[in-house]
Structure 1
Amino acid sequence: MIDRPLQNRTAFITGASSGLGVRFAHLLAGAGAKVALAARRTDRLDAEVAYIRAAGGEAVAIALDVSDAEAIGPAIDRAEAELGPLSILVNNAGVGGDGAALSLPVDRYDQTFDVNVRGVYLAAREAAKRMIDSGVAEAGDARIVNIASIAGLNQLPGLTAYCASKAAVISLTQGLAREWAKRHIAVNAIAPGYIETEINSDWFATDGGRAQIAGFPRRRLMDNDALDQALLLLTGRAARFMTGSVIVVDDGQSL
């Protein structure tokens, strides 16, 4: 018998058109969840939805730019209308924000915080409202997982804005966990190390990127399945007793 620990749960995943977002959508669908894939690039979403449906899962594609505050609530409403009451939010959407502080344009700094911090905060708030109103929270099934980074725990050169944004995600996770503890909403975060994605692939192809990898204790990037078990833990039954946690999965890269 196939184990489907998230059977009939509805999950909403931001930044689901590529990289980790796609991986998360496939993983949660495979665990039985009905998944809403949200991102700006809907052409990519349609292909992933078709893949999940062909495998027997339930999925919908939803156009969403998390920097648009007015769009987040309606996007979640659409997901609930098509898939049922929301019980899992994965705040995965993010941008790089690389650049030295003296030269980083202000609009790039603003975009980093609009997506990486403001978008996380607003999506969590809109999700929490619906989880409370539907009774999902009271039933103990409400899960919010924010994707932070080891950059939120360690200062990395040339990434001051990005590191600050991910540190803010960790702070938001702990603050919302405390605020919503009595509402029975589990709010946790995963802080990944380096996995090759569209955001960083160009860098790791350079001499500097290869030198960075050589400096890691295990001299490698992580595989794209590195976060699977952490995500299943934080979206599943065990997270009834976890809130405000930050799980670091980095292959020792920050040692």
Structure 2
Amino acid sequence: MRTIQQLFDLTGKTALVTGGSRGLGLQIAEALGEQGARIVLSARKADELQSAQIHLQARGITVDWIAADGSREADIADLADKALDRLGHVDILVNNAGATWGAPAEDYPTDAWDKVMNLNIRGLFLLTQRIGKLSMIPRRYGRVVNVASIAGLSGNPPGTMKTIAYNTSKGAVINFTRTLAGEWGEHNITVNALAPGFFPSKMTQGSIARLGAEAMSAGVPLRRLGDDEDLKGAALLFASEAGKHITGQVLAIDGGASAV
């Protein structure tokens, strides 16, 4: 019987983390890498990926990166193929890349809707499909960790954000997670989703600046926003052997906001 340390150990495992150059993706990459996984990061901007690589290497993590636009089908195929070439196979796929756009629903631009949907759900599907078909299913092993959001569990409080495409896309990520878990369980592949609440990031900085961190955390039972450690434990659970009997689940990491 393995020890708890062995169940959470990722030595010898490989991980592809999209949207991994900063924010939540970088936080997850830190957690997986510190437990021994070899990491490939992906994002659109090479300079940010290089900075992330330096940051992770300073923590003793083996890491490479591939610049790709997760909303473009050609980039997605190229990313999957390059990641498999560099890693040999992908044990853990973290689908974190995402975008948002704020506008009232009645005036929401169609091109903004398409931009959000193409990255947040279409690109996620295409990358997962390719990694699954080329690596996880043939090897009968895989951990898919999707980054959804508590925005996919409900609407927005009146007077706050107007992000209908983002909320809709994250709701789709949640049911994508459940559906794929049902299909791929027979291949020994688990598929789970993290649903973060508000964490300071480039995506949320506008809302935090406009509404204020104190006001945004007032209705949160723990009375605070997420920090740069709060996703690590949950991500590691879903990515490791400690979570081998967990699939199709959505875990909110939101200080209790979705529970009240």
Return the TM-score normalized by structure 2.
Answer: 0.90
Q: What's the counterpart of residue 27 of structure 2?
A: 23
Aligned AA (1:173): T
Q: What's the counterpart of residue 257 of structure 2?
A: 253
Deviations 1:137-182 (A, max 9, x none): x2xx410000001111111152222111110000100111111111
SS of match in other structure, 2:166: helix
Aligned AA (1:15): G
Deviation at 1:212, TM superposition (A): 2.9
Q: Unmatched 5+ residue regions in structure 1?
A: none
Match of residue 229, structure 2, among 210, 217, 225: 225
2:16 is aligned with 1:9: no
Deviation at 1:134, TM superposition (A): 4.7
SS of match in other structure, 2:107: coil
Deviation at 1:211, TM superposition (A): 2.9
Does the C-alpha gap of structure 1 residues 98 and 6 become closer, same or farther in structure 2, counting only changes over 3 Å?
same
Q: How many residues align?
A: 250
Match of residue 200, structure 2, among 191, 196, 199: 196
SS of match in other structure, 2:39: strand
Q: Distance in 2 between matches of 1:51 and 1:218?
A: 30
Q: What's the counterpart of residue 152 of structure 2?
A: 152
Q: What's the counterpart of residue 60 of structure 2?
A: 56
Bigger mean CA offset, 42-51 vs 232-241: 42-51
Q: What's the counterpart of residue 91 of structure 1?
A: 95
Q: Distance in 2 between matches of 1:217 and 1:181?
A: 35
**Root mean square deviation of aligned Cα:** 1.8
Does the C-alpha gap of structure 1 residues 133 and 209 become closer, same or farther in structure 2, counting only changes over 3 Å?
closer
Aligned AA (1:110): D
Match of residue 41, structure 1, among 39, 42, 45: 45
Does the C-alpha gap of structure 1 residues 214 and 185 become closer, same or farther in structure 2, counting only changes over 3 Å?
same
Aligned AA (1:155): G
Deviation at 1:55, TM superposition (A): 3.4
2:109 is aligned with 1:105: yes
Does the C-alpha gap of structure 1 residues 132 and 28 become closer, same or farther in structure 2, counting only changes over 3 Å?
closer
Q: What's the counterpart of residue 234 of structure 1?
A: 238
Bigger mean CA offset, 190-199 vs 65-74: 65-74
Q: Distance in 1 between matches of 2:84 and 2:153?
A: 34
Bigger mean CA offset, 54-63 vs 26-35: 54-63
Does the C-alpha gap of structure 1 residues 230 and 113 become closer, same or farther in structure 2, counting only changes over 3 Å?
same
Deviation at 1:80, TM superposition (A): 2.2
Aligned AA (1:146): N
Q: What's the counterpart of residue 115 of structure 1?
A: 119
Q: What's the counterpart of residue 71 of structure 1?
A: 75
SS of match in other structure, 1:247: strand
Contact 1:53 1:59 in 2 (8 A): yes
Q: Unmatched 5+ residue regions in structure 2?
A: none
Match of residue 248, structure 2, among 228, 235, 244: 244
